[in-house]
Amino acid sequence: MKKTRVDRKFAELQRQGKKGFIAYLSAGDPNLADTVDIVLRLEDAGVDLVELGLPFSDPLADGRVNQEAATRALEAGSTFDGVMECIAKIRERSEIPMIFYAYMNPLLAHGFDQAMAVSAQAGIDGFLLLDLPFEEAGPYRHALAANHLNAIQLVTPTTPDERIDKIVKRASGFVYCVSREGVTGVQDKLAEGAGALVQRIKSRTGCPVALGFGIGTPEQARGAAHLSDAVVVGSAIVNSFHNNPHTAEGRAAAAAFVGEMVKAVKEV
């Protein structure tokens, strides 16, 4: 498979001896036009990769903040085709790596193979498929590979070593290490055992390992960066852009908050 923007970005970070910063937001929150603006502001804040939630009515891996973001996106009229147009508009102005954080239902409803083809054409680099068990992924991996899309794999604290071995062999782009049990959402501190889990993964793959779930402050981001190749921040970013006014000044304030976390990660 040819190298994606994700692959090239992690190779660049490795050459520089730097850790990566991955920002999550829900596509279409507060609307699709503003999503374009927010992604560009995230890039200006130093974010290395953007993880876009594909809006879905039943996001079972997400906590309240990201659930509500998906609901706002759907209520604002976000559709699969509309999100693809949004990605294409971002690509007119940016080459920042982007992946979809997605559930299977909307993709199957659209036709999985077609959804992969359209996503790749719009400018997406890969997929993190939240509710696709490894054991059932075979038929879908072919569509990802055929469209030169990274297949981001999840490993959780409850994943046994034998299963980690199988999962990471199919990973491309990076492996997403879930720092703790449960759903997304900001926590008071990094989960105990997160570092050990990252090491268990890294001992089994040369793929970069990104640590996420629960990270919401510069201090937590710095701590996570010491443990992994990249840090994923979601709910705290969603909250910041939602709670600040939807004005140029409000967006600048939210982006500045993200910039502080990026700075903490880059100092490691």
In tens, the pLDDT along 109-168 reads 999 999 999 999 999 999 999 999 988 999 999 999 999 999 999 999 999 999 999 999
Catalytic residue list contains 95: no
Strands 126-129 and 20-26 come out as unpaired
Domain that holds residue 188: 5-266
pTM score, two decimals? Answer: 0.96
Catalytic residue list contains 62: yes
Active-site hit among 7, 62, 125, 229? 62
Domain count, the chain: 1
**pLDDT score for 181:** 59
Residue 41 has pLDDT above 70, yes or no: yes
Active-site hit among 29, 43, 48, 51? 51
212 near 186, Cβ under 8 Å?
no
Length of the chain: 268
In tens, the pLDDT along 89-123 reads 999 999 999 999 999 999 999 999 999 999 999 99
In tens, the pLDDT along 203-221 reads 999 999 999 988 999 999 9
Percent of the chain with pLDDT over 70: 96
Q: What is the CATH number of the domain that holds 46?
A: 3.20.20.70
Residue 182 has pLDDT above 90, yes or no: no
HEC profile for the chain? CCCCHHHHHHHHHHHHCCCEEEEEEECCCCCHHHHHHHHHHHHHCCCCEEEEECCCCCCCCCCHHHHHHHHHHHHCCCCHHHHHHHHHHHHCCCCCCEEEEECHHHHHHHCHHHHHHHHHHHCCCEEEECCCCHHHCHHHHHHHHHCCCEEEEEECCCCCHHHHHHHHHCCCCCEEEECCCCCCCCCCCCCCCHHHHHHHHHCCCCCCEEEECCCCCHHHHHHHHHHCCEEEECHHHHHHHHHCCCCHHHHHHHHHHHHHHHHHHHCC
In tens, the pLDDT along 221-246 reads 999 999 999 999 999 999 999 999 99
Q: How many CA atoms lie within 13 A of 48 on its CB side?
A: 25
